[in-house]
Structure 1
Amino acid sequence: MNQPTLIQMNGDQLRIEDVALIAREFVHIELTSEALENVRRSRAMVEEMVQQQKVVYGITTGFGKFSDVMIQGEDVSKLQENLIMSHACGMGDPYPVEVVRAMMALRINALAKGYSGIREETLLQLVELCNRGVHPVIPQQGSLGASGDLAPLAHMVLVMLGKGEAYVNGQQMSGSEALKAVGLAPIRLQAKEGLALINGTQAMTAQLCLALYDSRVVLESAELIASMTIEALRGIPKAFDPQLHLVRPHPGQQESARRLLAHLSGSQRTSQQGELRVQDPYSLRCLPQVHGATRDTLEYVWTTVSRECNSVTDNPILFTETGDVISGGNFHGQPMAFAADFLAIAMAELANISERRTERLVNPQLSGLPGFLTENGGLHSGFMITQYVAASIVSENKVLCHPASVDSIPSSANQEDHVSMGTTAARKLRTVISNVTKVLAIEYLAAAQAIDFGTGDLGAGTSKAYAELRRVIPRLHEDREMHPDLVKAEELIKKGTLVIV
């Protein structure tokens, strides 16, 4: 499938896959004529309200607890610039460029819906930053996930004003230097624009989009790697029989069972019920039930985040058809917070069960194979410590899976007295997925080593997975530094090499 070179945005049709392409492949953005017309209409509403000196939150008033402070007409523009500078107070390491680009793309799409009152030229400035590869330096810490991702998005907007810092072609420089490097000039924000740019859920949603995209790759890889372990241990595929899963018709469970059977099709390495044992341990037999539950969770979160990608999440919201300006709470990140916490738990379980399969591979009392998968145990330790590493990472994930969304700390003098912590949840989720990939890489390497002790053809899918690994990592005959091998196996998973069905 050919990769698009341009993604058109109108605020309604942005897909998670599109966000990943913009973030990682630097695909360009173009606004539709319909979107630009909607932007102009909502801007006309703002101009009229300023002219008539109407009392409207964030346009002619201060923010948060200062919402009852009126702003005079000559200070309306200064109010927006002050908003950005005061809110750009994030801390910690900067977000990776891919997260920054996803954040920019999502904010552009939300503003393109035409409910936010931003000027056309201001929105196009943000589009040009993304298209020309100007990536604001955005610290990762500082968002409560309600009133939007204020601090992260403020750092994004600073560069539009010629302030802050940005990366251009991998070089970090001041915001003014970054704009000059790509032929752009700073803008001066007008009424409502600062608020429109930073009051939204795009920092958490950006991370969720990339996490979801990666989660699909990790899940498909996990099932193929598990299939290799089944062959290494001469497992019983009968547990994946369709009729078994028809009587417990969870869609994810049925799909996982189908894929496991497809991966093992034609294999001479499996066994029948009663041939070697009556039934397998849970880490093999219950794969469809465990992986299937993760599949169903992933689909739920995918739907929820897809909806958020095309939502208006700032405040107040302008309705051009009715003339209403409504102050509400669409910036509250609770839906994303729950989604991120739920997905972290579901993805962590892939690592939990993978580590148990790795233990079965390396433990001679459970596998019937040489201890720790080494030909000369004692002199060589083989895969002994790789299981330790998997256990350590699994334990780390258990800490990270404590839900961030159960916490709330009031802010802005108790005006903003309940927050989502959704951005924290999304940051933790990305770490969990990275950890899961590492645990699966350990099983992948161990399963291939265990397969080398047996004979017979591998399955339709597992033969490909085995060949891909052995193309870059040779069999372990005597102890060697394991870290480089594990990193190579991890990269194969991350690149989607094992997504073959």
Structure 2
Amino acid sequence: MREHEQHDRHHSRSDRPRDAHQPVQAEPPIEVDGAGLTLTDLDKVARGAGARLAPGVLDRLRRQYREARGISARQPVYGQSTGVGANRFVEVDEHDDEHGLRLLRSHAADAGPHVPEETVRVMLAIRLSQLAASGSGISPDVVQGLERMLRDDALPSIRTMGGIGTADLAALASTALAMAGERPTTNPWPTPVSFGKDSALPFMSSSALTLARAARAVTRLRDLEGSSRIVTALSATAVGANRQAFSPQAGRAAVIPAAARVAEEMRGLLQDESEPARIQDPFGLRAYIQAQGAVVDAMDRLGRLVESLTATAQENPLFDFESQRAVHHGGFHQASLGLAIDGLNLALAQSAPLVISRITMLHDPAYTGAPPFLADGTDGSSGHMMVEYIAASAMAQLRNAAQPASLNTVVLSQGAEEDASFATQAVEQLDRAVDSYQTMLSIELLSAHRAISVLGRPTSSSLRRVVASLREVLPIVAADHDLRPDIEAAGRVLPGLARGVLPEA
């Protein structure tokens, strides 16, 4: 082993950034059989539940590994009997036992910030699930090593830059080097795993990191999106909204089922049929179910696609054990995944101006009857004036993140790969979009809570419970004061706001 590798392996856990949330084995490991994992499964893994192979999976993989070795002896197999990329026409000596490790070492080049450990766990679980499906022809020893890595929480160091939506080669090569004992892990890794040329490329041939990041983003967004219902209902109550915008008729007119669900949830939160202050409200309220229904629809679509891809063998080449041949293909080109992520980014971006609209209404005496910006009435008081600037800044960031990554293209490896899906970049943008969306909703929550309290607006029984809990963490201070702690408190409480109030999806 090279000297620098020996040094790297013995880095302590404190040398790497750690997640604030440490894994707690509160739940039993999820069972992986190759039939796929749900977002709920992946969330459990992220929090430290671990994963184990279902009975019979290893026996099947051992049989298929033997069959794959036989297929490889009868026909050329990309990455095993040849090089990769621009070297795909270069034959590799059948006795070259170092070819697999050379591939892993050369492809483990990455850069950028560390991927959070929760996301790394999810990446490992997704790859384990995909390998448990039939198609890779990989050594069962490698699959067992991956299972052990999750069990022992011996995580590799993964960086964000290296993929372009045509398989996360750098992330998975880095994982393989950690499994082989050539890179450090977060917990001791006493028994390295051997990677022959029959397992190196099959292990790398997956978009498991991009899928993991998408899964984490959707899971986080689901909480925020549900909370947006509570926040919007508070805003609607504060400004005396016309409830017809959330009526069953409005839900049906929106066509998509997600919009009808949003309307139904809004009716459940508002409950009373109080006289509206206006015949029609601004779009922030009047078009809420249409815009938010589009967000829910795009979010659910991406979630379903991610779950499907956890059960899909997409390795190139793919071993078809029925026909007994290796099939060379482009399944790693994640065009549909990139488009689905772009679609969610765009849906969030088009909903952002409506958040700004509701914040503006809350700060406008014409809608509330309160002093401008919900100030205390002292001459020249600014109240919540400046939080509008924060919301506008977050909206600009969100809309910037909505530029479709799938419009990009590139030619690499001497023309061997003349395009890419850029799904990896799309999911990076989604992370930023979710951050900005949370900031915008936090600002609206802060102002809606203040408006309800200052104006003494009557609320439904569901909202009364929310308002009571908010008072414990967001006490109302009438005079101008430092708003940063309030904004931070609103951001902390926001993700869990809908739990126990809205029905579980």
Please confirm whether the aligned pair reaches a TM-score higher than 0.5, indicating the same fold.
yes
Paired position in structure 2 for 1:64 = 85
Please tell me whether the aligned partners of residues 101 and 197 of structure 2 are also in contact (alpha carbons under 8 angstroms).
no
Decide whether the 8 Å contact of 1:350 with 1:436 is kept in 2.
Answer: no
| Cα distance between partner residues in 2 of 1:166 and 1:495 | 33
C-alpha distance in 2 between matches for 1:404 and 1:211: 16
Structure 2 residue 68 is the aligned partner of structure 1 residue 29: no
C-alpha separation in 1, matches of 2:56 and 2:322: 15
Q: Is residue 172 of structure 2 the alignment partner of residue 149 of structure 1?
A: no
Q: State the alpha-carbon separation in 2 of the partners of residues 410 and 42 from structure 1.
A: 35
Q: Which range moves more in the overlay, 243-252 or 214-223?
A: 243-252
* Letter in structure 1 aligned against 2:43: A
Q: Per the alignment, do residues 445 and 488 of structure 1 end up closer, same or farther by CA in structure 2, a change over 3 Å counting?
A: same
Aligned partner letter, 1:95: V
**Residue 186 (structure 2) pairs with residue 167 (structure 1):** yes
- Secondary structure of the 1:195 match is helix
Equivalent residue number for residue 172 of structure 1: none
Letter in 2 for 1:439: M
Q: d(CA) in 2 for partners of 1:262 and 1:287?
A: 15
Q: After superposition, what is the alpha-carbon deviation per residue over 1:135-174, rounded to whole angstroms, capped at 9, x for unaligned?
A: 211110121111x111122122221011223334xxxxxx
Give distance in 1, aligned partners of 2:407 and 2:489. 37
Matches within 5 A, 1:205-244: 205-244=211-250
Paired residue type of 2:52: E
Alignment counterpart, residue 145 of structure 2, candidates 125, 128, 144: 125
Q: In structure 1, list runs of 5 or more residues that go unmatched.
A: 169-177
**Residue in 1 aligned with 2:19?**
none
- Structure 1 Cα separation of the partners of residues 384 and 484 of structure 2: 11
Offset at 1:347? Answer: 2.3
Aligned to 1:39: 61
Q: Is the 8 A contact 1:374 1:476 kept in 2?
A: no
Matched position secondary structure for 1:33: coil
| Kept after mapping to 1: 8 A contact 2:107/2:169 | yes
> Is 1:114–2:134 an aligned residue pair?
yes
The AA in structure 2 aligned to 1:233 is V
Conserved 8 A contact 2:244-2:250: no
* TM-superposed deviation, 1:444: 0.4
Which amino acid is 2:144 matched to?
A: L
Work out whether residues 359 and 444 of structure 2, in 8 Å CA contact, stay in contact via their aligned partners in 1.
yes
Counterpart of 2:297?
296
- Deviation digits for residues 383-432 of structure 1 (CA, Å, limit 9, x no counterpart): 11111100011011111110111111111111111111110101110110
| Deviation for aligned residue 1:4 | 4.3
Shift, 1:378, TM fit: 4.0
In structure 2, the residue matched to 1:348 is 349
Question: Residue 160 of structure 2: SS of its match in structure 1?
Answer: strand
Once the 2 structures are TM-superposed, how far is the Cα of residue 433 of structure 1 from its aligned partner? 0.7
Structure 1 residues 416-425 or 232-241, which shifts more? 232-241
Corresponding residue SS for 1:424: helix
Read off the aligned partner of 1:158 and give its amino acid letter: L
Aligned residue pairs: how many?
478
Q: Quick one: which amino acid aligns to residue 161 of structure 1? A: A
Give the counterpart letter for 2:93 in structure 1: Q
Q: Distance in 2 between matches of 1:326 and 1:100?
A: 29
Whether 1:20 aligns to 2:43 is yes
How far apart, in 1, do the equivalents of 2:465 and 2:376 lie? 25
Contact persistence 2:107–2:170 (CA under 8 A): yes
Counterparts of 1:367 and 1:303, CA distance in 2: 41
Per-residue deviation, 1:306: 1.8
Q: CA RMSD in A?
A: 1.9
Question: Residue 31 of structure 2: SS of its match in structure 1?
Answer: strand
C-alpha separation in 1, matches of 2:357 and 2:274: 20
Q: Letter of the aligned partner of 2:169 in structure 1?
A: L
**Residue ranges of structure 2 left out of the alignment (5+ in a row):** 1-24
**Which residue of 253, 264, 282 maps to 1:258?**
264
Please give the alpha-carbon distance, in whole angstroms, between the structure 2 residues aligned to 1:399 and 1:248: 27
SS at structure 2 position matched to 1:74: coil
Q: What residue in structure 1 maps to residue 5 of structure 2?
A: none
Write the letter of the residue equivalent to 2:443.
Answer: I
2:98 counterpart SS class: helix
> Secondary structure of the residue that 1:43 maps to in structure 2?
helix
2:454 match: secondary structure: coil
The secondary structure found in structure 1 opposite 2:215 is helix
8 A Cα contact 1:116 1:317, kept in partner: yes
Q: Deviation at 1:299?
A: 2.2
Q: Is the 8 A contact 2:335 2:406 kept in 1?
A: yes
Contact 2:103–2:201 (CA<8 Å) still a contact in 1? yes
Tell me which residue corresponds to 2:432.
431
Going from structure 1 to structure 2, the CA distance change for 1:11 and 1:404 (only over 3 Å counts) comes to same
Q: Kindly provide the CA deviation profile for residues 281-330 of structure 1, in whole angstroms up to 9, marking residues without a partner as x.
A: 11112211111121222222222222112111211111222212101111
Q: Superposition pairs for residues 325-404 of structure 1, below 5 Å?
A: 325-378=326-379, 380-404=381-405
1:366 shift after superposition: 4.3
Select 1:55's aligned residue among 31, 52, 76.
Answer: 76
CA distance in 1, matches of 2:395, 2:375: 24
C-alpha distance in structure 2 between counterparts of 1:95 and 1:209, whole Å? 14
Q: 2:131–2:143: 8 Å Cα contact kept in structure 1?
A: yes
The SS at the match of 1:418 is coil
One-letter code of the match for 1:409?
V
Contact conserved, 2:404 with 2:426, CA < 8 A, in 1? Answer: yes
Return the alpha-carbon distance in structure 1 between the equivalents of residues 240 and 497 of structure 2: 26
CA contact (8 A) 1:41 1:114 kept: no
Deviation at 1:454, TM superposition (A): 2.1
- Give the corresponding residue for 1:103: 123
